[in-house]
Amino acid sequence: MDRGVIEKIVKEIEGFAPKTHEAHVGRVTAVGDGVVAIDGLSRAMMSEIVVFEEHRGKPLKEAMESKSAIMGLILNLEEDGVRAAILGDTARVTEGMMVHSTGQILSVPAGEELLGRVVNALGEPQDGKGPFKHTTPMPVERKAYGVIDRKHVSIPMQTGIIAIDALIPIGRGQRELIIGDRGTGKTTIAIDTIISQKNEPAEKRPICIYVAVGQKESKTARIVQELREKGALEYTIVVDAPASAPAALQYLAPFAGVAMGEYFMDRGRDVLVIYDDLSKQAVAYRELSLLLRRPPGREAYPGDIFYLHSRLLERAARLSDEKGGGSITALPIIETQEGDVSAYIPTNVISITDGQIFLDASLFNKGVRPAIDVGISVSRVGGDAQTKAMKSVAGSLKLELARFRELEAFMQFAQDLDQATALRIATGSRMVEILKQKNGEPLPMEKQAALLFAAMHTLFAEVPVARVREAAHAYLNFLDSNHAETLAKIKSSGTIEDDSKLTLNKAADEFRAAHKEFFSA
Amino acid sequence: MENRYAQALYQAIAAGCDSKTAIKNLVAILTRTNRRELLPRIAKAFARIAQREGAKNRTVLSVARHQDIPAAIDAAAKFAKVQKSDVHVDKSLIGGWRLEHQDMLVDTSYKQQLLDIFNRVTA
- pLDDT digit string, tens, across residues A73-111: 999 998 878 999 999 888 899 988 999 999 999 999 999
pLDDT band at A378 (very low <50, low <70, confident <90, very high): very high
A25 touches B at CB < 8 Å: yes
Question: Distance (Å, rounded) from C-alpha A488 to C-alpha A499?
Answer: 13
A102 touches B at CB < 8 Å: no
> pLDDT at position A422, please?
83
Nearest to A57 among B90, B102, B107 (CB): B90
> pLDDT at position B122, please?
78
B57-87 pLDDT, tens digit per residue, is 788 999 999 999 999 999 999 998 888 888 9
Question: Distance (Å, rounded) from C-alpha A67 to C-alpha A92?
Answer: 10
Residues B99, B112, A63, A81, Cα dihedral to 10°: 40
pLDDT of residue A257 exceeding 70:
yes
pLDDT band at A178 (very low <50, low <70, confident <90, very high): very high
pLDDT of residue A419 exceeding 70:
yes
pLDDT of residue A415 exceeding 70:
no
> pLDDT at position A414, please?
66
Mean pLDDT is lowest, of A321-325, A405-409, A511-515, B46-50, for A405-409
Contact A25 B105 (CB under 8 A): yes
pLDDT of residue A1 exceeding 70:
no
pLDDT band at B54 (very low <50, low <70, confident <90, very high): confident
Question: Distance (Å, rounded) from C-alpha A6 to C-alpha B30?
Answer: 70
Determine the length of chain A: 521
pLDDT above 90 coverage of chain A, percent: 75
| pTM of the complete model | 0.89
> pLDDT at position A503, please?
94
Closest alpha carbon to A460 in A518, A408, A510: A518
Determine if the peptide bond prior to B70 is cis (ω within 30°): no
Phi, psi angle pair for A25, to nearest 5°: -130, 165
For the question of residue A430 being annotated catalytic, the response is: no
A14 versus A500: the higher-pLDDT residue is A500
For residue B16, what are the contacts with CB-CB under 8 A and spacing of at least 6?
none
pLDDT of residue B36 exceeding 70:
yes
A399 versus B74: the higher-pLDDT residue is B74
pLDDT of residue A401 exceeding 80:
yes
What would the mean pLDDT of A176-187 be, rounded to a whole number?
Answer: 96
Whether the Cβ atoms of residue A21 and residue B107 lie closer than 8 Å to each other:
yes
Q: Which residues of A touch B52 (CB under 8 A)?
A: 29, 39
**Largest separation between any pair of C-alpha atoms in chain A:** 96
Angle, helices A445-456/A419-435, rounded to nearest 10 degrees: 170
Contact A64 B118 (CB under 8 A): yes
> pLDDT at position A181, please?
96
pLDDT band at A16 (very low <50, low <70, confident <90, very high): confident
Judged on CB neighbours under 10 Å (0-12, 13-18, 19+), A396 is exposed
**In angstroms, what separates the C-alpha of A79 from chain B's closest C-alpha?**
12
A141-151 pLDDT, tens digit per residue, is 999 999 999 99
Total Cβ atoms within 10 A of residue A18: 9
Contact B107 A27 (CB under 8 A): no
pLDDT of residue A215 exceeding 90:
yes
What would the mean pLDDT of A373-381 be, rounded to a whole number?
Answer: 90
pLDDT band at A521 (very low <50, low <70, confident <90, very high): low
Exactly one of A380, A403, A405, A424 is catalytic; which is it? A380
The mean predicted confidence, pLDDT, of chain A is 92
pLDDT of residue A382 exceeding 90:
no
- Interface test mutation site (partner A, options B90, B92, B112, B120, max chain A beta carbons within 10 A): B92
For residue B73, what are the contacts with CB-CB under 8 A and spacing of at least 6?
B61, B82, B84, B87
Q: Which residues of B touch A12 (CB under 8 A)?
A: 117, 120-121
Nearest to A24 among B56, B104, B114 (CB): B104
ipTM: 0.74
Q: CA-nearest residue of chain A to B51? A: A29
What would the mean pLDDT of A343-352 be, rounded to a whole number?
Answer: 97
What would the mean pLDDT of A296-314 be, rounded to a whole number?
Answer: 96
- Cα radius of gyration (chain B): 21
- Integer distance in angstroms from the first to the last C-alpha of chain A? 79
pLDDT above 70 coverage of chain B, percent: 99
> pLDDT at position B103, please?
86
pLDDT band at A307 (very low <50, low <70, confident <90, very high): very high
A207 versus B84: the higher-pLDDT residue is A207
Task: Write the DSSP symbol of residue A126.
Answer: -
pLDDT band at A328 (very low <50, low <70, confident <90, very high): very high
pLDDT of residue A392 exceeding 80:
yes
